Amino acid sequence: MEFGPDIVREDDFLTPEECAQISQQVLKLEPHWEARLGPYHFATLGCAAYLDVDENHYQEKSTSLNPLLRQTFGHVYERVRLYFTQLLQETAYYDEAYSYPGFHLFQFEGHESASDHPAERSHFDYQFAKIFPDFASTYLAPPLTFTLPIQEPSCGSSLEMWDLRPEGHARINYEHKEYARTHPSRTVHYAVGRIFTHDGLNLHAMGRIAPGTVGRRITLQGHAYKTQRGWLLYW
Ligand SMILES: O=C(O)CCC(=O)C(=O)O
């Protein structure tokens, strides 16, 4: 399976019942959530390279959270592993030195305003470069990002994607938010229980939150990075 500009692969993955059960498990683990900077009561369950690596906490947090995540969501991780093994036609695996995929958590309370602009949170998934600092010499394939919606708020959930790649990013002096504000985007509509994978190298963002939205948005998030051994799954 090739990934590249603008390609989002999507497949059915979990049933609504399985998603409801995972939501319950995530809610039970609230004492382990970590509040993060950002609107909508943003929190994570798990250690995320893009949030934790600069603080030098990645290793320590992964080591402390992986056993809990594995114990609770081991069946989901195994399904994810088998899915990517089949999709990529090579073994996918976890490594305890890296964080297991984790959860993005948002809570909307009905006072979301028309001022929600995905452009303001647009980004590229460059974090693989921090997790694998020798990537330039060991690079085998583009990295991958996946999102598996587990629970949606009242407005549904989506991914916003712009036609801008890293080459263009340099050309616009890394002013990607201005680019996102002034250029059209496309919306990839999510569905609970479906898995969405792309290379993270198109400018993208969590999709728009409509005014008046209520409820939780819970997604399982992770990445795949190709190594000599296969595809390493991590977050
Ligand atoms: O939550 C989403 O829909 C997208 C998440 C995202 O942009 C990311 O993890 O890089």
Residue entry with tokens 């801008």: 164
Q: Is residue 92 part of a domain?
A: yes
When pLDDT is averaged across residues 90-96 and rounded to a whole number, the result is 97
Q: Is residue 132 part of a domain?
A: yes
Instruction: Evaluate if residue 224 carries a pLDDT over 80.
Output: yes
**For residue 206, how far is its CA from the centre of ligand 1 (angstroms)?**
5
Q: Is residue 4 part of a domain?
A: no
Instruction: Please give the structure tokens belonging to residue 47.
Output: 């250690």
Asked if residue 156 has its Cβ within 6 Å of ligand 1, the reply is no
Can you tell me which atom of ligand 1 is nearest the CA of 157? Answer: 3
Q: Is residue 2 part of a domain?
A: no
Overall pTM surpassing 0.85 (yes/no)? yes
Q: Is residue 35 part of a domain?
A: yes
| Dist. CA 207–CA 8, nearest whole Å | 14
Closest-CA residue, ligand 1 atom 2, reads 206
Asked if residue 219 has its Cβ within 6 Å of ligand 1, the reply is yes
Compute the CA torsion angle 125, 99, 129, 221 (nearest 10 deg): -10
State the CATH number of the domain containing residue 30: 2.60.120
Mean pLDDT of the chain: 95
Q: What is the pLDDT of residues 103-161, one digit of tens each?
A: 999 999 998 777 899 999 999 999 999 999 888 888 899 999 999 999 999 999 999 99
Helix (H, G, I), strand (E, B) or coil at 10: strand
| Structural domain boundaries, residue 128 | 9-226
Q: Is residue 234 part of a domain?
A: no
Q: What is the pLDDT of residues 38-66, one digit of tens each?
A: 999 999 999 999 999 877 789 999 999 99
Closest-CA residue, ligand 1 atom 10, reads 125
| Number of separate domains in the chain | 1
Closest-CA residue, ligand 1 atom 7, reads 205
Asked if residue 208 has its Cβ within 6 Å of ligand 1, the reply is no
Q: Is residue 58 part of a domain?
A: yes
Helix (H, G, I), strand (E, B) or coil at 115: coil
Instruction: Evaluate if residue 179 carries a pLDDT over 80.
Output: yes
Model pLDDT, residue 57? 87
Q: Is residue 1 part of a domain?
A: no
